[in-house]
Structure 1
């Protein structure tokens, strides 16, 4: 019996959420968060988070229901995680923000 969660042709809300949250955790580890190291490897978790968000968007239904509302909340969570990953990616390169005079 093959699990449908591992089949990319099937819609899976769990697969999208796990992919986004795992990429956020990896981005936290790669960025060395309190010190904010500049590393271009953060592009990989950003791409994985985008793929997870797309997988979550695929689960939308045409008519409103509580499932549809739950998927909307998951999409908002995905977008917040994606913004955090992009912040970790771009902030170390923006020295003008942290400069004090």
Structure 2
């Protein structure tokens, strides 16, 4: 079954878990952040399944939720990859 609420909860809980796993201000490398990325992808797929073919306010709301999912997924992937990018933090 499709559910907008379940998709939103999956994405936001996985974003919170990724913030906790990365120890955000310190950005520690943790490969387990891949799990919240997969859960957020599942939530985004759940939102995409709720998409309708006719345009309306419901369709526009679902598009906004998908954009929110993309932003959260980008943050999770940033938390996953940033500690491994040593060239960004290298000082001369």
Give yes or no for TM over 0.5: yes
**Alpha-carbon distance between aligned partners in 1 of 2:64 and 2:53, rounded to the nearest angstrom:** 16
Distance in 1 separating the partners of 2:65 and 2:43: 11
Give the TM-score, by structure 2 length: 0.99
Under a length normalisation based on structure 1, what TM-score does the superposition of the two structures give?
0.90
Gaps of 5+ in 1: 1-9
Q: Which has the higher contact order (CA 8 A, sep 6+)?
A: 2
Cα-Cα RMSD: 0.4
Say yes or no: does 1:26 pair with 2:17: yes
* 2:53 is equivalent to residue 55 of structure 1: no
User: What residue in structure 1 maps to residue 30 of structure 2?
Assistant: 39
Does structure 1 residue 100 correspond to structure 2 residue 91?
yes
In the TM superposition, structure 1's runs of 4+ consecutive aligned residues that sit over 4 Å from their partners are: none
Partners of 1:64 and 1:100 in 2: how far apart? 51
Unaligned runs of 5+ in 2: none
| Greater fraction helix | 2
The count of aligned residue pairs is 92
Selected match of 1:17 from 8, 17, 27: 8
